Structure 1
Amino acid sequence: MSLHDHACLESVDGQAVTLLGARLTGELRGLLFAARVEQRFVNPGDEHLEVVYRFPLPWGAVLLGIEVELGGKRLTGAVVARAQAEADYEEALSQGDAAIMLEKNHDDSYCLNLGNLAPRERCTITLRYAQVLPFEQGALRLLIPTTIAPRYEDGAHASPVPQHQRMASSLTAEHGLELELTLHGSLARARVASPSHAISVVSAESEGQGADEGIDGGAVLRVALARQAWLDRDFVLVLDQLAHSSLALAGADYAQPGQATVLASFCPRLADQAPLDVTVKILVDCSGSMGGDSIGAARRALQAVVLQLRGADRFSLSRFGSSVEHRARGLWKVSDATRLAAQRWVGTLEADLGGTDMQAALESTLQLAHSVRSDVLLVTDGQIGSVDAVIAAARGSGHRVFVVGIGSSVVQSHLQRLAAATGGACDFVAPGEAVEPAVLRMFARLRSPDLEDLRLEWPGQVQPLWASALPSAVFDGDTVNVFAGFAQVPQGVVRLLGRAGSVAPEQELGRAALDARVSAAPTLARVAAAARLAALTPDDAHADAQDEGVRLAVDYQLVSDETNFLLLHERAAADKAGQMPRLHQERPMLAAGWGGAGSVSLSRMRADIWAGGVPALQRRSPIRQIEARAFRSIGSARSDRLRSFLDDLNDDAPLVPAKPAKPRIDRNDPRYWTRSEFYTGLTPLGLQEWLRINPESEWPATYEELRDIGLGAPVVEWLELLFKNRVDAGMPESAVVMGFLAAIDGGAWQASRKPSRRSSPTQDREKVREFFLGALERTTPQEWPESVWTLEERLDDD
């Protein structure tokens, strides 16, 4: 029996398994969430491994501590400067010793480097983190990310993540998730639901109260997963029907004995403020990653957005992927016609535009009616490699960006950064979650007046030693959190003051009471230090700011852009590795629903793909449908061959005799066919040429037939909406279409050409033709009239 003849953990596609699963336990008290995450690893092979595993933490989470159990021994490490950590880590590996390093990436993901894990050795990494949750429009939302979905990469969106950390997602990996949460005090009486997972909820009484639990009562609510879960989607817990009031807490400083840190949390309320009219440019992600559940949720969200628009509002509609398409050239007024056009446009949205070139799409959208002050409402999953270039394009444009993040693995950090940089806000919708509440919250912010000249008034006019900056965007009903440090905590009322508009008088927006109680727990001070650290980066690149950042991170033991966690374990001489370890990149599970997987069970997919050890593509399995959708969206020659191969396998499809081909317009001739971000289809001259080369018996008689021959959707919709009342009153659709074509056939822009022979027109058709001869008066061979884009022209009733 050889040394290799032993049991070995493998996934169904033969990949070695090192990550056995994760367990998360958490405590939610007030706005403060504290969690412990256990990650369990094993080396199933015969050689030493360097395991690299990249994973996400929630936006705003502060990593407080790391505990390691390696080979049955409990070990401790420390946070040190990044350069020192990297050098010491490599040195330990070269000496055959074990080393563990945790680093934070620029995209707010984390990477665990587990060096020299011995054959069949087990290691458990326990991470402790905390975050202050925002209270938004009467609700709290806890989002715990579990995987990193594939992201769009190109020159403008190249990920800053090091190459050795970039690992493709695995469709066949199975990493289990266990989760238990405890909600304390008033939160135990909230309405609790999870749109992402099946949960069990049990009420109980607290067995004891920690030193920092002064804001809570004794009631607790325990939340756990009701069935097997995986690291393939965000865990989302929503708590609503909450009556949040402002509060202030104090805790002992972690690094400065005798000093204290204060958190003042406010929920601004504006009385007697009429909602403002909005001017909003709607931009929706239709890239391939939005396929399946995400694009369905996006359609529902946008239909809810359209219903929120009212008479004085203005809006535009755009969608993007590798390219951008605008429904109109400017901003529409809200009317029956534009509302109906918007609803139809939303109903046709598909995730069929390839990659996610968000920067180009945003820049193009910002240029629409750029002289008008307006906001952008972005609906996306945020799956791009880097957001820095997108932020640079949006910042300074005068547009606030409001984001609705949709999907099972949204890039929360990217979207939060983009919204914050422009003075906007974020909301999120998980697959299966009702979208209307998120849209209502977003429109409450859009219609909220700007809160300006914000300032804090501390008790007795005491000035703090330091204080975090007030946020650039504050909205009625959302949370404002401010951290500050004091030599001695002042007692009394902290007031948030500001103006609802530049000419409005200053008013009190919120107040919170500070008392003499100071928690001995270090959590508050370390979360505050992370907020101070975030204020220094990434804009402050000079040496003094970097030195201050390293000092803060080391003093408060925070993993940051400039510091890593490092643990070194010197092995006995007999246990040292004889050579450098083999690199093993632990591939994350593919995010559920990503790229068109929809709600299909991944375990069922795996069974379909690998049944009997042979891919089962000849059956009509879910994965085949997913691949077919993906191939359609890519558009390359290779994908065309693969799509053809899949189509050939579809022996269930009935054979339909092909219809004789009609004469077609040359779509490479710019006289006849145009492609732009506003319109793709036949030009006026192109439609005229189509009528010339086809007999009148083959001319379209319906709006759908106009689309079939290549007339662009904006023109067809213009016809339909322009004559909607006439059609409803009894004018046949065919009369509208044929009258329009008769006007096109004799278009004034080509007077030298004689119109085609036409049969005797009906009275309705002739009336429509006469109208369109006037409506098309300013049409050029390549340009349709402006009313196509504005949808404002109407046919007189007489």
Structure 2
Amino acid sequence: MKITTLAPERCRPVPDAGFGALRTERGNLPLESVDVTAGISGLVAGVEVAQGFRNPFDVTLEATYVFPLPDRAAVTAFRMEADDRVIEGELKERGQARADYDQALREGRRAAIAEEERPDVFTIRVGNILPGERVTVRLSLSQPLPYEDGAATFRFPLVVAPRYVPGVPLDGPPAGAGTVPDTDAVPDASRVTPPVLLPGFPDPVRLSLAATVDPAGLDLRELASSLHVVEEEGHTVRLRPGERLDRDFILRLSFETSTSLQLDDEGTFALTVVPPEAQATRTPRDLVLLLDRSGSMSGWKMVAARRAAARIVDTLAAEDRFAVLAFDSVVEQAFDGLVAGSDRNRYRAVEHLARVDARGGTELLEPLREAVALLAPTEGRDRVLVLVTDGQVGNEDQILERAGGALSAMRVHVVGIDRAVNAGFLGRLAGLGAGRCELVESEDRLDAAMEQIHRRIGAPVVTDLSLKGLDVEPGTVTHLGSMFPGVPLRVYGRRRSGDSVTVRGLAAGAPWERQVVGTVVDNPALRAVWARAHLRELEDRYAMGEHELESEIVRVSLEYGVLCRFTAYVAVDTRQVAEGGPEHRVIQPVEPPSGWEMPTAPPPMSGFVAQAAVMAAPPAFRARPASFEAALEDEGFRGAPSGRPGGGPAGRPAGGPAGGPMGGPMGGSAGGSVGPRGPAFAPPVPPRPARRAPQGLEAVRGQLTAELDRLRALPVADVFYLADLGSRLAALSAYLGDHAELSALARELEAAERPGADPRALRAHAIEVLTALTGGAPHGGSAPEQPRRPFWKRA
């Protein structure tokens, strides 16, 4: 190979450019700035987000940006500004909005479209930006602030963290321009996985954020920012220049709220009720603790998660029963079933937790199944599930569809640990189980958060809530849930008449009620906040299988002017500026999340081919005793027959993702898209034998068949994929008690990266062995259910 020597003057380093940074005379990233301006009044914030794009190329450009917004925020306006022109966006059914956008681009006109992918993940596309031109798009939103223990929290997310994507890749073109292909478990994975900048990349986007606080008659005692350095001017807080888009902005406002009923002239109401003092009575409980130990939990998050889990165990009393499950690509239990909350068992649990470290992928569905099976209904005992995680998964809808019914029958508390936490999904899980979601953004915040969790892990203060006195429109009142110590009840709805309400419930088993007289307010945000909360509940029901709600979701969204997953804002210029569609397309890379242990070297492969090559096999749900399956059916699980994706049994691999096992497309035991294999991303360690003995190859035949199918479809005989396949087969062999043929094949494949290895021969040999072990089945198990046409692909 000929090596050309470059003169030093031709390769001068760019100041402050880290590894992987690329820079040309015209630049290389279309997003120049993000400006957030918030006005906080009481417990509601009005926010405007301005994103500035510039075309650094010499051809027309379409820029795509995947970004987060608060999961409870109602997006109520959208506009595009370019060449001294202002184009107001229109809210339309999503397919129609896309058709209008595409037609405008074909006709050479500027256009922009804003779409919701998740309750807290959005995509903006801006097309036909002329060379050198700057375009600004603006979003207006209204956001309610959660309040507890004397403080409201204004949380504004700034980065979409990488998410773990399980499932089998789908045929056909991807739905988006992300780094991970769509799968049967996450059919829009390519729309929520933007590329991630390598560590050390120079600051690519100018960020400004200012929040002005109007106490609205309340006694504001303190403003505190927990993750960013801020400057205060009176009641205005600003980010210090130079801050990056790599973590949530969190501002806490300390003041005392009060019980109130706000009414607007259009029939919307917002009810806030401060809970009564907590009662001393306590019901014995069965508690299952799920601890996420996946690769994305590395570093400070794993330390905080272990501490949080140990504190939860400390809340147990002798009359309680509990189980501790740690999960990544496998599920491991500290005990065999539920055990008494004795001092000895609690000590054993904490000792077990101290040995848990981060590894593997976030296979969340299987541990939920395990937890539901353990939490069988028992008279006189509360059923409580506690999940400690960062929530960085892409298959939120699949989890809600298959587990939502079961979770709604018990109390679910969630502890979210991350500086860019998936708050939308974790809040949805806790809401299903009438529990609480506590978010921990730093180790410094952990003690305060755990004190709150300690108070709320038990029974709520008031249950069985209902409203009397208002003539409400049927189906418009948001979920009442339960009242917990220090957390006011917040309810939104629509009324026909009435100016006061009586809240009724049970406190310590005795009737309780509180009457609240309404006050008429002139606050346009009230209607938008209600519409967003109502839409979110409808969307969750849709995700859980009520697909007939689609037309109702679109109707509510369009009638009240609030963006949802079935609608989109589109802004189209009337002036033609180009000959046709964009000649170049760029998806904006996002910052690596702060606090994540990111790879520090380039990957061995990149792009879609690399992502496809490192797919791990989908899990096969092992057959269980009839009583176990019946328990799942009784608890509301849907569609989880043997051989279907959804996670493996306790103590064995649950299969790998389309993204990496770090909780996103990060590399790991199945390879990666932005980093190398290394100690932090090692294959899962084979677990101790499961509590249920395997039954020979039948116990893993579905997984082996899936591995065979994946190996046959591999575009090239890649050594990294083969080595990772070897590690997965070794784990399966260990689960079976050291299967001779599997172990031998695993050792051969794990040596694929060594000098002199022949990857083509190894691949052929692996296909031959796996074909023999699976009985020659060319494809896995029963035919998978055909996925319905995703609404985000409609045009």
Q: Which TM-score band applies after superposition, normalised by the shorter structure?
A: 0.5 to 0.7
* DSSP 3-state at the match of 2:194: coil
> Could you say which residue in structure 2 is the equivalent of 1:3?
none
- Which residue is equivalent to 1:175? 205
Give 3-state SS (helix, strand or coil) of 1:229's partner. Answer: coil
Match of 1:776 in 2: none
Tell me which residue corresponds to 2:260: 247
For residues 335-375 of structure 1, what are the alpha-carbon distances to aligned partners after superposition, in whole Å with 9 as ceiling and x for unaligned?
Answer: 333333233223222112x1100111221233336465531
**Counterpart in 1 of 2:32?**
20
Cα RMSD over matched residues?
Answer: 3.7
1:42 is aligned to 54
Of 161, 179, 182, the residue aligned with 2:188 is 161
Partner of 2:363: 357
C-alpha distance in structure 2 between counterparts of 1:310 and 1:396, whole Å: 25
Matches within 5 A, 1:557-576: 557-572=561-576, 575-576=577-578
Counterpart for residue 402 of structure 1? 413
* 2:553 aligned partner: 549
User: Secondary structure of the residue that 1:634 maps to in structure 2?
Assistant: coil
Out of 123, 133, 155, the residue aligned to residue 143 of structure 1 is: 155
1:54 corresponds to: 66
User: 8 Å contact 1:277–1:447 — kept in the other structure?
Assistant: no
Partner of residue 577, structure 1: 579
Tell me the equivalent position of 2:275: 268
SS of 2:104's partner is helix
Q: Which of 661, 668, 685 does residue 634 from structure 1 map onto?
A: 668
Q: Kindly state the Cα deviation for residue 386 of structure 1 after the two structures are TM-superposed.
A: 1.5
2:247–2:594 Cα contact (<8 Å) kept: yes
Q: How far apart, CA to CA, are the structure 2 residues paired with 1:560 and 1:17?
A: 28
Is 1:377 equivalent to 2:386 in the alignment?
A: yes
**Partner Cα distance (2:332, 2:297) in 1:** 16
Deviation at 1:476, TM superposition (A): 3.7
- Return closer, same or farther for 1:293/1:167 CA change in 2, 3 Å cut-off: same
Distance 1:465 1:645 in 2: 56
Q: Is the 8 A contact 2:34 2:207 kept in 1?
A: yes
Change (3 A) 1:30 1:327: same
> Could you tell which deviates more after superposition, 343-352 or 443-452?
443-452
More moved, 62-71 vs 299-308: 299-308
Unaligned runs of 5+ in 1: 1-7, 204-220, 254-259, 598-604, 608-626, 648-666, 681-798
Partner Cα separation in structure 2 for residue 628 and residue 411 of structure 1: 14
What is the DSSP-based 3-state SS (H/G/I as helix, E as strand, rest coil) of the residue aligned with 2:414?
strand
Aligned pairs for 1:80-479 within 5 A: 80-106=92-118, 108-155=120-167, 158-161=185-188, 163=190, 166-171=193-198, 172=201, 174-185=204-215, 189-203=220-234, 221-240=235-254, 242-253=255-266, 260-270=267-277, 272-352=279-359, 354-368=360-374, 370=376, 372=378, 373-391=382-400, 392-393=402-403, 395-396=405-406, 398-449=409-460, 451-458=462-469, 462=471, 467-479=476-488
**Cα distance between partner residues in 2 of 1:645 and 1:432:** 24
SS of equivalent to 1:395: helix
Structure 2: give runs of 5+ residues left out of the alignment: 1-13, 169-183, 603-660, 695-795
CA deviations over 1:738-767 (Å, ceiling 9, x no partner)? xxxxxxxxxxxxxxxxxxxxxxxxxxxxxx
Residue pair 1:319, 1:325 contacting (<8 A) in 2 also: yes
Larger radius of gyration: 1
What displacement does 1:319 show? 0.8
Q: Which residue of 1 aligns with 2:787?
A: none
Aligned-pair CA distance for 1:580: 4.0
> In 2, Cα distance between the equivalents of 1:533 and 1:322?
33
**Secondary structure in 1 matching 2:346:** helix
Q: Hey, what does 1:714 align to over in structure 2?
A: none
Residue 183 of structure 1 and its aligned partner are, at CA, apart by: 1.8
Shift of 1:417: 1.1
Superposed displacement of residue 283, structure 1: 1.1
Q: Does the alignment pair 1:590 with 2:586?
A: no
Instruction: Decide whether the 8 Å contact of 2:304 with 2:417 is kept in 1.
Output: yes
**SS of residue paired to 2:370:** helix
Contact in 2 for aligned 1:408/1:591 (Cα 8 Å): yes
- For the residues of structure 1 that align with 2:580 and 2:251, how far apart are their CA atoms? 48
3-state SS of 1:497 partner? strand
Secondary structure at 2:39 match in 1: strand
- Determine the structure 2 residue equivalent to 1:523: 525
How many angstroms apart in 2 are the aligned matches of 1:200 and 1:188? 21
Return closer, same or farther for 1:327/1:556 CA change in 2, 3 Å cut-off.
Answer: same
- Evaluate the alpha carbon distance shift between residue 291 and residue 97 of structure 1 in structure 2; reply closer, same or farther with a 3 A threshold: same
Q: 1:66 to 1:631 in 2, by over 3 A?
A: closer
Residue 643 and residue 628 in structure 1: after superposition, are their counterparts in 2 closer, same or farther (change >3 A)? farther
Distance 2:679 2:460 in 1: 57
Matched pairs, number: 588
Post-superposition Cα deviations, 1:214-272, rounded to whole Å, max 9, x if no partner, equal xxxxxxx22222452111111112234x322111222233xxxxxx3221222222454
Q: What is the aligned partner in structure 2 of residue 534 from structure 1?
A: 536
CA contact (8 A) 1:465 1:484 kept: no
CA-to-aligned-CA distance 1:389-440 (integer Å, 9 cap, x gap): 3232253264322100001111111111111122222110002432122223
CA distance in 2, matches of 1:138, 1:316: 33
Secondary structure of residue in 1 paired with 2:374: coil
Please state whether the residue corresponding to 1:105 is helix, strand or coil: strand
How far off its partner does 1:280 sit?
A: 1.7
- Per the TM alignment, residue 585 of structure 1 is displaced from its structure 2 partner at its CA by 0.8
Structure 2: distance between partners of 1:506 and 1:233: 44
Shift of 1:457: 2.5
Residues 351 and 633, structure 1, Cα contact 8 Å, conserved in 2:
no
Alpha-carbon distance, 1:26 to partner:
1.0
